[in-house]
Amino acid sequence: MGRPVFLLPLRRLNQYSINMKYIRICLMAVVSVVLFSAFTMKGKEKPVYVFGVGASFKDSVVYFTEVQAVDSVALDKNGFLPRRETYAYQLKNYLEYEKSQPDYTCVVYFSENKNKLEKEASKVRKQYEKAKTFVIEKVGMSDFSFKKP
């Protein structure tokens, strides 16, 4: 004899619920992957702006670079410019070899906010101007630009 008729719908119902379990599991996996990848994606990296100051104890000329955006650079988790000393050495080498001005101490200022950095540059420049013993010379971007080390 064959199978009882009343068991056939239950069997199909079981098969249906098993299929639904697999579909739910797959759907949950896809949703979790999408959610986790959305939270781990980095936000849009902000550009980093830099300007430099070169001064010497032996000379009254102080060199100021323009505020420049540095390509492909992001601040580290502590908010510092990675390898920032190399940017100061770039300015020092420029002054030493291009301007024939040895013995200059160079400082680099950086920020992700250009307006904030321009205010800082203005503040530093005013301190040198207030002393009235320094000659401020601007270094244009056509003459010198910072490059990622």
pLDDT tens digits for 8-57?
555 565 665 666 677 777 777 776 776 666 556 555 678 999 999 999 99
Let me know: does 81 contact 50? Beta carbons within 8 Å: yes
Task: Calculate mean pLDDT across residues 123-138.
Answer: 94
Q: From 71, 80, 84, select the one nearest 45 (Cα to Cα).
A: 71
User: Is 105 a domain residue?
Assistant: yes
Inform me whether the pLDDT recorded for 4 exceeds 60.
Answer: no
Do 98 and 52 have their domain in common? Answer: yes
| Per-residue pLDDT, 116 | 96
Decide if 127 is inside a domain: yes
- The residue that leads in pLDDT, 143 or 37, is 143
Q: What is the structure's pLDDT at 43?
A: 56
Q: Are residues 78 and 127 in the same domain?
A: yes
Number of compact structural domains in the chain: 2
| Domain co-membership, 73 together with 88 | yes
Sequence length of the chain is 149
Residue 108 and residue 63 in one domain: yes
Residue 31 lies in a domain: yes
Residue 35 falls inside a structural domain: yes
Using one digit for the tens of pLDDT, what is the confidence trace for 53-108? 999 999 999 999 999 999 888 899 999 999 999 999 999 999 999 999 999 999 99
Q: Please tell me whether residues 127 and 54 are part of one structural domain.
A: yes
Look at residue 24 and tell me if it is in a domain: yes
- The contacts of residue 94 (CB under 8 Å, 6+ apart) are 139, 143, 144
Same domain, residue pair 61 and 108? yes
What value, to the nearest 5°, has the Cα angle with vertex 145 and ends 142 and 149?
155
The pLDDT, as a whole number, for residue 27 is 73
pLDDT at res. 25: 74
Domain-located, residue 33:
yes
3-state secondary structure the chain: CCCCCCHHHHHHHHHHHHHHHHHHHHHHHHHHHHHHHHHHCCCCCCCEEEEEEEECCCCCEEEEECCEEECCCCCCCCCCCCCHHHHHHHHHHHHHHCCCCCCCEEEEEEECCHHHHHHHHHHHHHHHHHHCCCEEEEECCCCCCCCCC
Q: What is the mean pLDDT of residues 117-126?
A: 96
For residues 58 and 75, membership in a common domain is answered with yes
Please tell me whether residues 130 and 107 are part of one structural domain.
yes
Domain range enclosing 10? 1-41
Give the residue with greater pLDDT, 29 vs 118.
118
CB 68 within 8 A of CB 141: yes
pTM given for the model? 0.69
- 32 and 103 inside one domain: no
Whether residue 144 is contained in a domain is answered as no
